[in-house]
């Protein structure tokens, strides 16, 4: 039986490491609208390329140049980049003139940020969209949920991931992680100021991803914030089933001598609250271990974004 689906949007993956391989498997197993046409890597002995070949996916170990030379590339419309921030800049230089849409899973941030439940429909015509970071995908929905109720003067997130799930790309991009995530907390999450911290937890056995979100807001109806946060959790769970609150949303009044008060604008001189949200992200274990929720939420968000782009193109084509 043929594996081709003419009505599906064809995609390719650059990067045959953990993230790229998990993304390939998600497209094969979960998507009714996308078809994986090719995977490109630079290590001919990588498990990702070997697995792709076993799954009858065309491969090349010659990177983006090898990808564009493949016959299968002619029909590819969307390319996922699961490499590194530095490599992505070169990939965009090669692919942008060829008219392909890039979904960037690195923190290069050359294109607009996309967090599916927050602004998934905002950049459907952009040639390059950025998936922020794993910490951003996990926490920015919570900042946005709070900002939907009341202005967020300051948003701070701490992403704790297993050291085992932090590969060479993650470790090489720590600085970009903090800068990109902080920027997206502001631009997508809606916080006036954002800060991001990542912790590589060396615990054995490995712990699953944990995220903490702290937001400083004016005194307001906490019930509305709780309801908004819980509704947003449900929206993320639609594509990341292992995403959940670890406990109820916490509220603490910011006292006059609390150092955090210095982060508030002078206009917010009255009562202020610190809203704290504690999250856990368990992976679906399609390819990665379940504790690697940080990687799973990135590939799941990228898949959801590609499906949105494909649906948008299908609708546009039908109306022409």
Q: Is 173 part of any known ligand binding site?
A: yes
> Among 59-63, 105-109, 114-118, 166-170, whose mean pLDDT is lowest?
166-170
The annotation status of 16 as a binding-site residue, yes or no, is yes
The domains of the chain, with CATH numbers, are 9-131+296-319 (3.40.50.720), 134-290 (3.30.360.10)
Q: Taking the CB of residue 183, how many other CB atoms lie within 10 A of it?
A: 17
- Is 19 flagged in the annotation as binding? yes
The pLDDT of residue 267 is 56
Query: Taking residues 281-291, what's their average pLDDT?
Result: 95
Q: In the predicted model, what is the mean pLDDT of residues 64-84? A: 97
Check whether 262 has a pLDDT greater than 90: no
pLDDT in tens, 5-53: 568 999 999 999 999 999 999 999 999 999 999 999 999 999 999 999 9
148 assigned binding-site residue: no
Q: Would you say 201 is a known binding-site residue? A: no
Percent of the chain having pLDDT more than 70?
A: 95
CA distance 156 to 170: 20
Mean pLDDT for 66-90 is 96
**Most confidently predicted of 5-9, 126-130, 175-179:** 126-130
CB 277 within 8 A of CB 252: no
Residue 154 in tokens: 């300051």
- Catalogue the active-site residues: 134
What is the pLDDT at residue 314? Answer: 81
**Higher local confidence (pLDDT), 265 or 5:** 265
pLDDT over threshold 80, residue 270? no
Buried b (16+ CB within 10 A) or exposed e, 189-218: bbbbbbbbebeebeeeebbbbbbbbbbbbe
Q: Is the pLDDT reported for residue 277 higher than 80?
A: yes
pTM: 0.93
Phi and psi at residue 114, to the nearest 5°:
-130, 125
Residue 17, annotated as binding a ligand: yes
Annotated ligand binding at 84? The verdict is no
Q: Is 147 annotated as a binding residue?
A: no
Using CA atoms, how far residue 273 sits from 11, 24, 53, 314, in Å, is 45, 43, 54, 45
Do residues 279 and 213 lie in contact, with contact meaning Cβ atoms separated by under 8 Å?
yes
**Residue 165 assigned ligand-binding role:** yes
Mean pLDDT, residues 150-174: 90
pLDDT-wise least confident of 47-51, 174-178, 307-311: 174-178
Q: Does 170 carry a binding-site annotation?
A: yes
* pLDDT tier for residue 1 given thresholds of 50, 70 and 90: very low
168 labelled as ligand-binding? yes
Asked if the peptide bond before residue 205 counts as cis, ω within 30 degrees of 0, the response is yes
């Amino acid at each position: 039986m043929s594996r081709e689906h003419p009505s599906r949007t064809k995609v390719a993956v650059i990067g045959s490491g953990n993230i790229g391989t998990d993304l390939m498997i998600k497209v094969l197993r979960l998507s009714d609208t996308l078809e994986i046409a090719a995977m490109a890597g630079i290590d001919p002995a990588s498990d990702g390329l070997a697995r792709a070949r076993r799954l009858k996916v065309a491969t090349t170990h010659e990177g983006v140049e090898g990808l564009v030379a493949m016959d299968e590339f002619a029909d590819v419309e969307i390319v996922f980049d699961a490499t590194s921030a530095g490599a992505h800049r070169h990939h965009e230089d090669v692919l942008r003139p060829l008219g392909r849409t890039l979904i960037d899973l690195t923190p290069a941030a050359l294109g607009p940020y996309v967090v599916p439940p927050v602004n998934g429909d905002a950049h459907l015509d952009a040639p390059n969209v950025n998936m922020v970071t794993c910490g951003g995908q996990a926490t920015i929905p919570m900042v946005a949920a709070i900002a939907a109720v009341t202005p967020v003067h300051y948003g701070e997130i701490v992403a704790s991931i297993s050291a085992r799930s932090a590969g060479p790309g993650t470790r090489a991009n720590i600085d970009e992680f903090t800068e990109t995530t902080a920027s997206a907390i502001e631009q997508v999450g809606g916080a006036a100021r954002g800060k991001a911290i990542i912790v590589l937890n060396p615990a054995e056995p490995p712990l699953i991803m944990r995220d903490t979100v702290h937001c400083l807001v004016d005194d307001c109806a906490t019930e509305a914030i709780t309801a908004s946060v819980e509704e947003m959790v449900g929206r993320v769970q639609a594509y990341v089933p292992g995403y959940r609150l670890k406990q109820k949303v916490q509220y603490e009044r910011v006292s006059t001598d609390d150092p955090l008060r210095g982060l508030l604008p002078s206009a917010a001189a009255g009562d202020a609250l610190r809203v704290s949200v504690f999250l856990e992200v368990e992976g679906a274990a399609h390819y990665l271990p379940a504790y690697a929720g940080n990687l799973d939420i990135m590939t799941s968000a990228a898949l959801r974004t590609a499906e949105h782009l494909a649906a948008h193109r299908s609708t546009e084509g039908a109306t022409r």
